[in-house]
Amino acid sequence: MKLIWLDHDTPFPDPADALADPPGLLAAGADLSITRLRQAYQQGIFPWFQEGEPILWWSPEPRMVLQCADFHPSHSLRKRLRQIARNQQQNNFEVVVKVDHSLRGVMQGCARRSADGRAETWITRDMQLAYQAWHLAGQVHSIETWMDGQLTGGLYGVSIGHMFYGESMFSHATDASKIALAHLVSFLHRQGVTWIDCQMQTDHLASMGAAPVSREAFVKHVRQASAQPPINWYKGWLDDAGILHADV
C-alpha cells in the first residue's frame, strides 16, 4: 500500500489503512490549520514529523491510552500530592498547578527535553505556532506545575468534547510532570472524561496505568467522545489566581 498524499481539500483516509511499515503512518501533506487538526483528532489521527519533513499523519496500532479510572500514582507521589493539598489549605502555595498560564513555556519545555541530548524535536516551530493558535480557539490546554513561582514541569494536550489527547510533558524538578498529570486526571474524571490519549507506548506511562488498546476500539471511542458537548475548563475549578484545585 502506498502512502497517501493529502492536498488542501483531500479528506483523511480511513485510519485502518495506516501502513505497517513504518507502523501507523497514514498520510502526508495538507496543513496544520485548526480545521485540519480538528478533523484529524476526531478520527484518531495526529501529526508527527521532524523539521524539514512534510507533515506526516499517524494512527498507531495499538494505541496507548490512560483510562482515568486506572491511573495509579506511586506511593511517594500520592504522599507528595497530599502534602501539596495540605499546604494549600494553609495558604502555602510553594507548589501549585495552573491551567493555561504558559502554554508556550510548556511547549518549549517539551521541545527541549531529550534523553540523549539531541537538538531535533517533533515539536517544531510550525507545530508550536499551530497549537498556540488552536489554544486561542479554546481546544488546546496546558497543565503546569509551578514551584516557588517558576514553571518546573507540565503537559499540554487537545480537548474536544469529552476526549483529551495528551501531546507531551516535561519536568525540570522531581515529579513535576506527574503532579500536573495527577491533577489533570482528577479534573477530567470529575468532568466525565474517561480516556486520555497517550499516542505511543512507553514504560513511563505504563507505570502509571496506561495500557494499549486496538486502533478500532480507540477510533470508536474517540468518535463518540469527541461528538459530546465540550467540558468546562474554568468554571468551579480555578481560583482567582488560576490555580487548579482537584481531589488527588
Q: Are residues 157 and 111 in the same domain?
A: yes
Q: Are residues 127 and 152 in the same domain?
A: yes
Among 18, 35, 60, give the residue marking a domain's end. Answer: 60
Domain extent for 25: 4-60
Given a cut of 90, is residue 113 above it in pLDDT? no
Beta bridge partners of residue 141, listed in sequence order: 157
Domain membership of residue 105 (yes or no) is yes
Provide the pLDDT confidence category of residue 119 given band limits of 50, 70 and 90: very low
Q: How many domains does the chain have?
A: 2
Among 42, 60, 78, give the residue marking a domain's end. Answer: 60
Q: Are residues 161 and 44 in the same domain?
A: no
Order of strands, sheet of 63-67, starting from the edge strand that comes earlier in the sequence: 95-99, 140-147, 150-160, 163-171, 195-199, 63-67, 211-213
Given a cut of 50, is residue 20 above it in pLDDT? yes
Q: Count CA within 13 A, CB hemisphere, residue 239.
A: 10
Q: In the numeric block, which cell numbers belong to residue 75?
A: 506511593
Mean pLDDT of 19-40: 97
Averaged pLDDT score across all residues of the chain: 90
Please give the pLDDT value at position 89: 79
pTM recorded for the entire structure: 0.92
CATH code for the domain of 145: 3.40.630.70
DSSP string, 108-138: HHHHH--TT-----SS-HHHHHHHHHHHHTT
Given a cut of 90, is residue 229 above it in pLDDT? yes
| pLDDT per position as a tens digit, 65-95 | 999 999 999 999 999 999 988 888 787 789 9
Given a cut of 60, is residue 236 above it in pLDDT? no
Q: Are residues 128 and 55 in the same domain?
A: no
Q: Are 144 and 106 within 8 A, CB to CB?
A: yes
Please give the pLDDT value at position 233: 86
Please give the pLDDT value at position 118: 44
Closest CA relative to residue 46, chosen from 196, 193, 197: 197
